[in-house]
Amino acid sequence: MVKKILIAFFCVMAHGLFAQNGTISPYSYFGIGDHRDQGTVDNQMMGGISVYGDSIHINLTNPAAYSKLRLTAYTAGISRREYRLKDWNEQQNTSVTTLDYLAIGFPLSNKMGMGFGVMPFTSVGYSLNDIRTNGEGAEVTNIYTGDGGLNRIFASIGFEPIKNLSLGVTANFNFGSLKYQRVQSVEGVQFGTLDDRESKINGYDFNYALNYTPKIKDKYTLFASVLVNTQGNLVSKNTQTLGSFSLSNGNNVEVVDVNLDATNLRNTELKIPTRTTLGLGFGEDKKWFMGAEYSFQQYSDFDNSFLGLQNVTYNDASTYAFGGYWVPDYRALSGYFKRVTYRAGLRYDVSGLEVNGKEINNFGITFGLGMPLGGSFSNLNLGFELGRRGTTDANLIEESYLKINIGLSLNDIWFQKRKIN
């Protein structure tokens, strides 16, 4: 009965996942939107590192870690971001709440495990006003809005062919639609103009992982990993409409479909460059762990020709992440907080996005708690991230944010025969 309830809950939550708008960042206008965090809350709160894996938690970004699973795990996560958006002369506060992932993982044997789930991949969501004066002294107002995003369905498998050496692979299918609109009005002119664009996108990529976890002096464990997320091959089916509308009542006057076939923009390819991640960590099982990761991606090869933006450049991207956890005494019979897992980390993302000649990078500090539920292996993960992205230079916007994460990890036993003495 518990399994049926959980599966029904996951199905309902998955419907909400596909209907949500996951960002309000103006920088989601570029590329294919904001790339969402792909890890669970417990990984995100260690700076986002994925080199660590254990027997009761799903590691969404490192498929080789599925070989460590000993119990079936259900996991789900939600987050809320509180934003402060600031430019050179004003400031605005806003927020957004999103469902981040739903997944199930289970062991197939003592050396093999698999899992599957859904999560958002990217999000578009912004509303920007640009007011300028033209050569004739009239005020020109441009309003830019966008929404949508790409979702991801994935399946993973991990196995341990040799002691302490694990391999894994995840197959991802990405799909969704991105919508962009620009509305322009000129002071003293009766009609405004509109430009609506939509891209329906789908495609796939794979994530390969290799973990090496030897014991050191029978007490400590060394963690080393190599992750390769292969090039994402996405196909975009595009449409564009141009027209005018009445400023007095908002009704369209004339709207026409643009012939994108003439410019070879009806169907375009979006290639997300290969991303490689190297991880190294060290710790004592169920007591403490600390690790670091470095990721790099040749994002300078990316291009979205359909949007035709003139003020954006894509450069090579990289990420530096550090994090770890500490458990005072996981076997303590008294003192609940002795069994709590305390996590912390930090990250610095060189996004590869350059707007108006300025790099748009991100820095975040993370911390959180993993709280046991009852006497089981299940736990509730609570996390926080304080960060800043962008700049107020060159007429751009600086984002300061507080992200609050809540993740649920429930455990059960599947595929084990019951024995009666």
* Three-state DSSP class for residue 245: strand
- Measured in whole angstroms, the distance separating CA 371 from the mean position of its chain's CA atoms is 24
Task: Give the domains, in start order, of the chain with CATH numbers.
Answer: 2-412 (2.40.160.60)
Which amino acid makes up residue 389?
R
Residue pLDDT, tens place only, 6-20: 455 445 454 445 445
Residue 239: what pLDDT? 95
* Three-state DSSP class for residue 351: coil
d(CA 104, CA 57) in angstroms, rounded, equals 10
Average pLDDT of the chain to the nearest whole number: 89
Q: Is the pLDDT of residue 261 over 70?
A: yes
d(CA 226, CA 231) in angstroms, rounded, equals 16
CA dihedral 125, 402, 14, 198 (to 10 degrees): 10
Residue pLDDT, tens place only, 292-350: 999 999 998 888 888 888 888 999 999 999 999 999 998 888 888 999 999 999 999 99
Given a contact cutoff of 8 angstroms between Cβ atoms, the answer to whether 157 and 107 are in contact is no
Percent of the chain with pLDDT over 70: 93
Instruction: Supply the pTM of this predicted model.
Output: 0.89
Count of C-beta atoms within a 10 Å radius of residue 202 = 15
Residue 148 falls in which region: left (phi positive, over 0), alpha (psi -120 to 50) or beta: left
Supply angle C-alpha 378, 379, 381, rounded to 5: 155
Residue 163: what pLDDT? 94
Q: Lowest mean pLDDT: which of 38-42, 203-207, 272-276, 412-416? A: 412-416
Scored b (16 or more CB within 10 A) or e, 172-194 reads bebbbbbbbbbebbbeeeeebbb
The CA radius of gyration of the chain, in Å to the nearest whole number, is 24
